[in-house]
Structure 1
């Protein structure tokens, strides 16, 4: 069986023999008899999204997905394709939840709003940010974001640096979120590291100041969340400040 999937999740393919078709028809009949919903690319994506929220993007297998759907693995291949094809659907769905700000506010305010919203959405789906940062979202998934963002940078005067600036902002935001996801997946290690920093809080100088900061941030889950939020705010403002200085130098 050969299946091709585009970024919209639409599947097309060529199938050898009638066995696959007969099996598909039998499965459809069974699902109707048992009152189960039909298997569609959208239903497969829904189930994959649910598993990603629970286990992270890399935390589930095609067998897990089939079990979530109460279907056979081959049915997923029939409707969508392999694991990478399903992952593309998940990333597409996640990005569709990101609100694209109005371009009227200018490039800096636009990226500030977009990237904060992107972080909020991706934090709900562990592992998506790492995949995005490593291999990108795919051409269709980021089209609306890329078209507006790069156009705003060009209009602002970044010229040939518009694409590198856009890539820097998106990739580094995703890297930041990926680190948050990884930290959340290692609670015992974070606790151990916090104890080590707490023990150094009385040391004079830079190490002592750093240890105090980390020890304070890890006193509770809410304080840790505030620490992450403050760190992201500092990161984003600093990168935007740097691009603004670069733009000013280019103009003058």
Structure 2
């Protein structure tokens, strides 16, 4: 069966049970073994290094054996995506939704740095595996406890995740280039600073911006940028939920006054 074998008779691999071979008590490999080996292969060689044939070889089995568990590579990627989602720690709401949501965002960011290949998988299929659902539920509980309406929860989670994914993607682009090309970051930064010092003479304000950034250590610069951005996202959510709460109270007060006036007239 080719890697493009169709598996679209179900919307997700989680909707289909694992099959067993006829005439045997079960397949030689388990789904768990296949998924764990796929994660290891992706961590070692990246997405370009994953194929059903190479995975089968890693497991000492033919690619055909894998198709008893997954219809195609896309289904396999669903499984490995959910597998690593299980690494993200969750906890019940603490009473401080902002701190809880920040902790969730930091956990997701750390996960993406441990498994850079996972960034490209967000949005490619519904995140409805057991670990993905547990994560979504934990985040939803935090936001609901913080005063977000059910209709707002998904959008709030998406807002946070969109920022985290976007920021990590740009960080990883640089990190992976440094690793691939064996870039001496200190020498590279010094050379760029020398160039920009001359190139930005007509733009002194822009030079101050660049100079401040280039004088920071690379990892600290990236960390500061992330922390600044995620906190501004949280500021926006905090202002939004506070303003909405104030409007709801105002509407409630007006309705109460209107009802009281109506009662007086009726009396």
Compute the TM-score of the two structures, normalised by the length of structure 1: 0.77
> Deviation of residue 47 (structure 1)?
0.9
Shift of the alpha carbon at 1:239? 0.6
Q: Bigger radius of gyration, 1 or 2? A: 2
Query: 1:65: Cα distance to partner?
Result: 1.4
Within the candidate set 161, 168, 180, 1:177 is matched to: 168
**Cα–Cα, structure 1 residues 230 and 82, in superposed 2: closer, same or farther, change >3 Å?**
same
Alignment of 1:118-137 (within 5 A): 118-132=108-122, 134-135=123-124
CA RMSD of aligned residues (A): 3.1
Q: Is 1:229 aligned with 2:223?
A: yes
Quote the Cα distance in structure 2 between the aligned partners of 1:198 and 1:189.
21
* Structure 1: gaps of 5 or more residues: 14-19, 29-37, 218-222
Distance 1:123 1:7, change over 3 A: farther
- Residue 251 of structure 1 is matched in structure 2 by 245
Distance apart, 1:86 and its partner CA: 1.0
Structure 1 residues 24-76: Cα deviation after superposition (integer angstroms, max 9, x where no partner): 89xx8xxxxxxxxx522111111111111112234422222122212211111
Q: How many residues align?
A: 228
Per the alignment, residue 6 of structure 1 pairs with 13
Judging changes above 3 Å, is the alpha-carbon distance between structure 1 residues 54 and 153 closer, same or farther for their aligned structure 2 residues? same
C-alpha distance after superposition, 1:116-169 (max 9, x if no partner): 11111221111202211x335522342122223223323323323222111111
Q: Structure 2: which 5+ residue stretches go unaligned? A: 247-267
Distance 2:18 2:80 in 1: 15
Query: Which string of whole-angstrom CA distances, capped at 9 and with x for unpartnered residues, describes residues 214-242 of structure 1?
Result: 4334xxxxx32222222221111111011
Within a 5 Å distance, the mapping from 1:10-21 to structure 2 comes to 10-12=17-19
Distance 1:58 1:110, change over 3 A: farther
